[in-house]
């Protein structure tokens, strides 16, 4: 067995072999011959979603130049490309994506398959930009689908259950600039009273906190310069004050690896992510969890979690609160209503974190929280199927496309397919 680990080092993969096909044809042959196979990308998942009891395929060698279609306003990319590298390609040609996740280091295919997101009341998650997919199915055939295809909305956020994606076509738009302003010590009372106003104050908004104490420690506003900038350059924000130096989300940590702040306008590619592509994206060993729910429950969710602050604080590095628009992708954590997300960066104490997650999930249960598919959670299929109206449709689709269960692993058995 190979000694291969995920990005955080908290999971050793159980695959007996990892292959790196150099061509799509080679990938097709590998998939057709393997009794069990999964794809692995940049390994920035904290659970066993990418693991396989048999073969794992790494698509790093399936490279190629992105193909720009300026008439259709799309770009088609190899599935393993990182968002930061794609952003660089687009900026050079005067185009942009609608959003980026916190880290530009993650692969497009992995982010799409797990409904990974950025922030912004009116911004859908990254998967909502997908206009077409190419994937290798269980029999080794190459399948191409787009928004006109039956079941397309069930195939985008796929958790790797339907095949191995090789190419993705994304919507793009003309390039734009963003400025980033940071405010500190916004009172929780003000957050509760003005949550919608705070999260709509910029194109993308993040609230960082330990959940303890009277104030949220930081609010990051990412404002497009081609839109109204009501809080850009202001000295105060809903009771908080403008930062006087660049900030890292974690207290006492240098902001050198964070994206440009202090209201300096620049390309979207250098502002929408929290961290720079050229730098190590975190403060070291960590675990992550995230729960998303109807945005109407945002304040109630904050109150529940702040009520557990004494339990959360010993394990927490930072909590980030973000919002995003709802969508119609079957297993998207944003399916249906507009959402609020509570993201937790934990200390590397997995047993303690998982015990806490069970208590958090029980406390949040009335708000119907959906866990991020690529992060730590303890909910299983009986609970999860109640949270997604198209859950059964996805299960049926997976069984039709993969009747022998070639792409099924322990994660999918535990959470979706039974």
Tens digits of residue pLDDT in 365-414: 999 999 999 999 999 999 999 999 999 999 999 999 999 999 999 999 99
List, for residues 239-269, the tens digit of each pLDDT value. Answer: 999 999 999 999 888 999 999 999 999 999 9
Beta bridge partners of 107: 82
- List the alpha helices (DSSP H) in 34-156: 83-92, 108-113, 152-155
- Given a cut of 70, whether residue 2 has pLDDT beyond it is no
What integer is the mean pLDDT of 37-45?
Answer: 90
DSSP string, 231-260: STT-SEETTEEE-SS---SSTT---TTBPP
pLDDT digits over 73-121, tens only? 999 999 999 999 999 999 999 999 999 999 888 899 999 999 999 999 9
Q: Which of 347, 333, 235, 202 is nearest to 285 (CA)?
A: 347
Q: What are phi and psi of 310, to 5 degrees?
A: -65, -25
Which residues are bridge partners to 56 per DSSP?
18, 38
The model's pLDDT over 281-340, given as tens digits with 9 standing for 90+, comes to 554 589 999 999 999 999 999 999 999 999 999 999 999 999 999 999 999 999 999 999
Candidates 7, 15, 16, 13; CA nearest to 46 is 7
Nearest alpha-carbon partner for 218 in 192, 237, 196, 194? 237
- 407 with 162: CB under 8 angstroms? yes
Q: What is the pLDDT averaged over residues 61-65?
A: 88
- Across the strands, what pairs with 319? 209, 344
In this model, does residue 62 exceed pLDDT 50?
yes
In contact, 215 and 187? CB cutoff 8 Å: yes
Instruction: Specify the pLDDT at position 280.
Output: 63
- Say which residues have a Cβ less than 8 Å from residue 169's Cβ, sequence separation at least 6: 74, 75, 76, 77, 130, 131, 132, 133, 146
Confidence tier at 41 by pLDDT (50, 70, 90): confident
Average pLDDT value for residue range 226-235? 90
Question: What was the pLDDT predicted at 283?
Answer: 47
Quote the mean pLDDT of the chain. 95
Cα separation, 344 vs 381, in Å, equals 22
Chain length of the chain? 418
Q: Are 357 and 378 in contact (CB under 8 A)?
A: yes
Return all residues near 241 (Cβ < 8 A) that are at least 6 apart: 183, 184, 185, 235
pLDDT of residue 281: 59
User: Among the listed ranges 37-46, 140-149, 374-383, which one has the minimum average pLDDT value?
Assistant: 37-46
Interval 168-179: pLDDT, tens: 999 999 999 999
As a whole number, mean pLDDT of residues 169-196 equals: 98
Phi, psi of 210 (to 5 degrees): -90, -5
């Amino acid at each position: 067995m190979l000694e291969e680990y995920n990005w955080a080092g908290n999971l050793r993969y159980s695959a007996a072999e990892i292959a790196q096909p150099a061509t799509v044809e080679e990938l097709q042959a590998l998939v057709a011959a393997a009794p069990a196979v999964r794809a692995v990308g940049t390994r920035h998942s904290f659970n066993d979603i990418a693991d396989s009891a048999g073969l794992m395929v790494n698509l790093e060698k399936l490279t190629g130049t992105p193909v720009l279609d300026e008439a259709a306003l799309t770009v088609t990319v190899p599935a393993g490309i990182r968002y930061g590298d794609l952003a660089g390609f687009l900026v050079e040609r005067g185009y942009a994506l609608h959003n980026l996740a916190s880290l530009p280091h993650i692969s497009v295919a992995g982010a799409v398959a797990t409904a990974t997101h950025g922030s912004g009341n009116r911004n859908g998650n990254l998967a909502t930009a997908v206009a077409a997919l190419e994937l290798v199915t269980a029999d080794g055939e190459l399948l191409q689908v787009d928004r006109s295809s039956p079941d397309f909305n069930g195939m985008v956020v796929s958790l790797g259950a339907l095949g191995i994606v090789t190419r993705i076509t994304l919507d793009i738009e003309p390039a734009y600039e963003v400025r980033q302003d940071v405010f500190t010590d916004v009172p929780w009372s003000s957050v509760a009273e003005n949550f919608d106003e705070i999260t709509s104050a910029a194109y993308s908004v993040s609230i960082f906190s330990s959940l303890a104490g009277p104030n949220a420690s930081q609010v990051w506003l990412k404002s497009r310069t081609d839109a109204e900038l009501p809080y850009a350059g202001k000295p105060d924000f809903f009771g908080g004050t403008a930062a006087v130096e660049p900030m890292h989300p974690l207290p006492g940590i240098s902001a050198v690896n964070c994206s440009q702040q202090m209201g300096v306008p620049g390309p979207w590619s250098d502002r929408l992510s929290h961290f720079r592509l050229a730098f190590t994206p975190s403060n070291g060993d960590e675990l992550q969890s995230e729960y998303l729910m109807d945005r109407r429950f945002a304040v109630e969710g904050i109150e529940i979690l702040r009520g557990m602050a004494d339990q959360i604080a010993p394990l927490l590095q930072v909590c980030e609160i973000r919002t995003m628009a709802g969508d119609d992708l079957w297993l998207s954590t944003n399916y249906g209503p507009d959402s609020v997300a509570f993201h937790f960066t934990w200390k590397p104490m997995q047993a303690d974190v998982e015990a806490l997650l069970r208590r958090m999930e029980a406390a949040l249960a009335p708000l119907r929280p959906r866990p991020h598919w690529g992060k730590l959670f303890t909910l299983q299929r009986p609970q999860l199927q109640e949270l997604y109206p198209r859950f059964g449709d996805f299960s049926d689709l997976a069984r039709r496309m993969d009747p022998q269960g070639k792409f099924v692993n322990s994660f999918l058995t535990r959470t979706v397919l039974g």
